[in-house]
Amino acid sequence: MRRVSRRVLLHGVASLIATPVLARIPSNPEVIIIGAGMAGLAAARTLMQNGVSVAVLEARNRIGGRAYTESKTFGFPYDHGCAFIYASEENPIARLATNLGYQPSEEGDYWLIVDGHDASIADYDDLGAVLDRIDRAINQAAKAGRDVPASTVIDEDGQWAKLAKALIGDINAGVPLDELSTTDYAARFSSGANALVAEGLGTVVAEYGEQVPVQLGTPVDRIIWDGKRVSVTTDRGTLRARVTIVTVSTGVLGRRAIRFAPDLPDWKREAIERVPMGLLNKVAVQFDRPFPDAADNTSVNYPLEEGEAVSFLINPFGAPLAIGFLGGDTARDAEQQEKTAVVDLAQERLANLFGSAVKKYFVKGHVTAWGQDPYTLGAYSAAKPGYSRMRRELRRTVDERLYFAGEAVHSEWAGQLPGAYLSGVRVARDYLLDRR
């Protein structure tokens, strides 16, 4: 493997991850924003920069939504949710992080292992060829106007087919290929090198949200929009505004965790139903030493078994950690098991890859469960085959009273933090135009 000398010293980094300073919400805002994830924060900042008073209501006791970094679990920054800055040269989050003083670092090596040994150059070539063929087949179908399950345009078998399909479907989109829309996949921005932030992507979002007026621990129960003003009801009372921007996930909207009075129109309900949430979870395993002979931020993959969708990242910024990414049905199955069992299974996989000796160095593990999180009910959105156009319907305003934002409404960056960010900026600008 290629060696690199870069090591980011993480001693004391945890102390840098402080609770952001949030402003108090106004009692009579012009705009109420539901959700303090990246979309809600971006909308709020854009409106505030244009002199609009906003109040952001957040169900959790923190901001950031699916961007969440903490250091209590392992003693160094650990992203429970989004961590990668994909296509970093084109990704607005890379510029945002840099402007805030962070230094995104390009992801490390890509390591293939077969039966406990380094894969051959031919193996790397074979996997690359399979990935290219799958990507090309999906894009050709989309270009021909065929919005169909990606599995129907792919004819791949062999040693690396299961891994390639899992990387493109379950792990990249949160759904297997038979639930992946060809046109939804093809619309996404996917070229270029990826990057990571040592302090965690959630830390970047938390700092970005400083000074935004957010009321934490305030789940919204009901939005009444048939009066002169929109009324938003919580267990802390009712807040009224000219309009409301809704940034919660399609999982939450589909579960009707927030009631609308009157109910949302049928076309909006259909859009929510047709763009449900996919699932990606993480199982992180800490050891008392980094993996030897591996660069920081090394991705590790191996020939998968039937029904398995797993990929590992090891030595993140020199930390003695292996993070397993569990996609689609593998992630759902993990949520039905005891977390200790999921950690044990991850250890077994790592022992198969690196030798049984790794178990001697085990310290602790952690497993996420985004599908069971009541404020997301999934990891990121995935349009059903035949319905990728519904992302546009998700974005559409209802009666110039209810506005919608979030990664689910942004086709090019769907399922990613920049989609949430750009949709928040865009919805704020939409309102500013309507307000004239």
The reply to whether 98 falls in a domain is yes
State which residues form the domain around 241: 13-104+197-276+381-435
Residue 264 shares a structural domain with residue 406: yes
325 falls within a domain? yes
Contact by Cβ (8 Å): 378, 368: no
Of 325, 352, 372, which marks where a domain is finished? Answer: 372
Instruction: Return d(Cα 248, Cα 235) in angstroms, integer.
Output: 18
Which residues touch 192 (CB under 8 Å, ≥6 apart)? 86, 87, 88, 89, 90, 91
* CA–CA gap between residue 298 and residue 314 (Å, rounded): 5
Q: Which residues, given as ranges, of the chain have pLDDT below 50?
A: 1-17
Residues 80 and 125 placed together within one structural domain of the fold: no
* Judgement on whether residues 410 and 386 belong to the same structural domain of the protein: yes
In a domain, 336, yes or no: yes
Choosing from 336, 354, 372, the residue where a domain stops is 372
DSSP 8-state class, residue 277: E
Residue with tokens 């854009």: 46
Q: Which residues contact 133 (CB under 8 A, 6 or more apart)?
A: 154, 156
Residue 6 placed within a domain = no
Q: Does 2 map to a domain?
A: no
Q: Are strands 310-314 and 110-114 parallel, antiparallel or unpaired?
A: unpaired
Pair (176, 283) in one structural domain: yes
The answer to whether position 8 is within a domain reads no
Q: Is residue 7 part of a domain?
A: no
172 plus 282 within the same structural domain: yes
- 3 located within any domain: no
Do 282 and 362 fall within a single domain? Answer: yes
Domain co-membership, 289 together with 363: yes
What's the pLDDT score for residue 21?
A: 66
174 and 217 within one domain: no
Q: Is 66 exposed, middle or buried (0-12, 13-18, 19+ CB in 10 A)?
A: buried
Domain boundary among 346, 372, 398: 372
Which helix or strand (DSSP H or E) is residue 45 part of?
A: helix 38-49
- What pLDDT, on a 0 to 100 scale, did the predictor assign at position 19? 61
Whether residues 20 and 95 fall in one domain: yes
CA 334 from chain centre, in angstroms, equals 18
Of 364, 92, 56, 49, the C-alpha closest to 204 is 92
For residues 155 and 272, state if they share a domain: no
The H or E element spanning position 258 is none
Please report the sign of the dihedral spanned by the C-alpha atoms of residue 130, residue 133, residue 136, residue 139: negative
Domain holding 235: CATH number?
Answer: 3.50.50.60
pLDDT of residue 191: 75
Whether 282 and 391 map to the same domain: the answer is: no
Residues 149-171 pLDDT 10s: 999 999 999 999 999 999 999 99
Shared domain check, 395 and 334: no
Residues 25-68: tens digit of each pLDDT = 888 999 999 999 999 999 999 999 999 999 999 999 999 999 99
- If one counts the domains in the chain, the total is 2
Task: Report the CATH number at residue 130.
Answer: 3.90.660.10
For the record, the structure tokens of 426 come out as: 């865009």
